[in-house]
Structure 1
Amino acid sequence: MAASGKVAFRLPPLPTIREIIKLFNLRAQKQLSQNFLLDLRLTDKIVRQAGKLKDTHVCEVGPGPGGITRSILNADVAQLLLVEKDTRFIPGLKMLSEAAPGKVHVVHGDILTYKLERAFPKHLEMKWEDDPPNVHIIGNLPFNVSTPLIIRWLENVSKRDGPFVYGRTQMTLTFQKEVAERLTATTGSKQRSRLSIMSQYLCTVQNCFTIPGRAFVPKPEVDVSVVHFTPLVQPKIRQPFKLVEKVVKSVFQFRRKYCCRGVEILFPEAERLEKCEQMMMLADVDPTLRPAQLSILHFKNLCDVYRKMCDEDPSLFTYNYREELKQKKTSKRTFRALGKE
């Protein structure tokens, strides 16, 4: 008999994922962007991107029928938390939980509202400067929540709260191939976007590999990529997340125009040109560069200058270009209506 502690955990024989789907009459719902991954070689490959998971605590987001779940359990994790919004999948996940006694906790809930900061034991917390903690997030994300969810988690990284109270928690997540390309796009590339800056100023982001759409049931119209995130010890832009987001969003608002066009809309109309010119000059950014040509250093300079300008005039940060446009349109309609009376 093998010595105690040396035997790796393996799941007992279980129905296949296809059999689970049949058994519980599970159909992927298009309106929820659900696609099942049935090939266990691929689910094993996704889990391998997370690194060594033996004795770690893992949260799997949206496990569905449990394909990736099996691969995570076979990696011999200490604890696995499953957060699943769709009640139809809970019985199948409970079956997996029974097959791995004491290892799995199934939660029926929405990851967008679930409090991950309370999900794992306190002793797992590491200092931010230390190695990442023994906590990992893994998920084959539904397309309709993947972007809002990663933006939410990036904000958590910047504040070191949510799943990042434990330290620099790593994440291995799936995205539509196009979204993954945006997340990892380099300066000047066609896919460079708001997502590129927001993810890369806070994390090391790696596009691991792409899974063809035909591997999923039902087959989505796009391929899917696996992306790995490790929060940086020091963010490349040291300003509040909302300020960085506002500057980056504004610049990419007019992605085909010169970057100064997006910077302009950070300011009310009356002082727009003057303030924009001032900001570009102080940040040492060429106003004729396109948004995709701006490096993270360019954005750091823009954010630092904008922060100083907001400190000098606090009303600047609350200024909203879209609101101003709405008010103008409303005023025009009112003016026309009065003219017809």
Structure 2
Amino acid sequence: MAASGSLTKYRLPPLPTIREIIKLYNLRAEKHLSQNFLLDLKLTDKIVRKSGHLQNAYICEVGPGPGGITRSILNAGAEELLVVEKDTRFIPGLKMLNEASNGKVRIVHGDILTYRMDRSFPGHLRKHWEEEPPNIHIIGNLPFSVSTPLIIKWFEQIANRDGPFKYGRTQMTLTFQKEVAERLTASTRSPQRSRLSIMSQYLCSVKNCFTIPGRAFVPKPEVDVGVVKFTPLIRPQIEQPFKLVEKVVRCVFQFRRKYCHRGVSILFPEEKRLKFTEHMLMSADVDPSLRPTELTIAHFKNLCDVYREMCNQDPNLFDYNFREELRMKKLCFKPEEEEKDLL
């Protein structure tokens, strides 16, 4: 038997190497698409092992490119592999893998940011949310340019149990720039604690699995890459609508180097700002002198719960937009006063 955590004994027939595929089809990584090829099959195997037990699993691979991770997924014994690839140059190589795997690869030419995954897998795979995750996995070496908007989209679908999460608590194993991977998993008081930390951890169990050095990619990116695994929680740590949570967290981290009361204050129109900010912080039992990086998810839960109550009392409050107010007044922050909203 195969050792625990190792790939199964199923192997693809002999195929051209990834380097040979790149040469055969004259493939070059496009800088404007943030493409970086991972050619080391030991590393692609490691990514797949971190994804979990994939024997007879149904997988969606995002941006397979020349097919390095694709081969490792097939060698792990996947039942069916759906690949979503935007770049038509890679389709012939993926068709070769489909033929070599006896039709296990289903190729979709499309943009993962707009592709609907709610009907991509057989209905019998559905699990109740409270059960173990379904035998469905999302795996991908994500282009840097789409990684953050894509994971935010999936977080919202987790909150709404939509998209690939209609089937249950579908697990994801994805690559990010090392800095983004650290933000996703950063703990309270960590210098990397950010908006992205809260949005990921209130919805998922998040694990930074390992780091891939930039030199392993072709072309070599300027940064290393982190592999992160997400498992949606049975019960989110903040039980409020996703858009509300996102707004509160975004406002608080808008001024991540200042005290948290500064970010909370921009949730409210100017004429109500001082009174409402004091009420929200006091009701949520949050010390106004804490920095955003010092706030726990429990703090954010309390802030969101109180803000929801205030929005229920004043239905127009949620629609208030601080930046729109500034625009209408034709005002702007001075560069030294404006804080970058770090994801």
Q: TM-score normalised to the size of structure 2?
A: 0.94
Give the 5 Å matches for 1:1-341: 8-329=9-330
The unaligned stretches of length 5 or more in structure 2 are 1-7, 333-343
Equivalent-residue separation in structure 1 for 2:175 and 2:208 (angstroms) = 10
Q: 2:314 & 2:278 partners in 1: Cα distance?
A: 17
Give the secondary structure class of the aligned counterpart of 2:78. coil
Highest CA radius of gyration, 1 or 2?
Answer: 1
Structure 1 partner of 2:338: none
CA distance in 2, matches of 1:71, 1:218: 21
Amino acid at match of 1:87: T
After TM superposition, give the deviation of residue 115 of structure 1 in Å: 1.0
Query: SS at 1:118's partner residue?
Result: coil
Query: Unaligned regions of 5+ residues in structure 1, if any?
Result: 1-6, 332-341
TM-score scaled by length of structure 1: 0.94
Structure number having the greater helix percentage? 1
Q: Could you tell me how far apart the structure 2 residues matched to 1:32 and 1:8 are?
A: 35
Q: Which amino acid aligns with 1:141?
A: L
Give per-residue Cα distances to partners, 1:103-140, cap 9 Å, x unaligned: 11011011111111110000000000000000000000
The one-letter amino acid paired with 2:277 is C
What is the CA–CA distance in structure 2 between the aligned matches of 1:183 and 1:75, rounded to whole Å? 27
Whole-Å separation in 2 of the counterparts to 1:169 and 1:176: 22
Q: 1:67-111 CA deviation, whole Å, 9 max, x = no partner? A: 000000000010000000000100110111110112110110111
Distance in 2 (alpha carbons) for counterparts of 1:9 and 1:272: 63
1:49 aligned counterpart, secondary structure? helix
What CA deviation, in whole Å up to 9, does each residue of 1:168-211 have, x standing for no partner?
00000000000000000000000000000000000000000000
SS at match of 1:25: coil
**Structure 1: which 4+ aligned runs deviate by more than 3 Å?**
none
Percent of aligned pairs with the same amino acid = 75
- Across the two proteins, how many residue pairs are aligned to each other? 325
Amino acid corresponding to residue 222 of structure 2 in structure 1: E
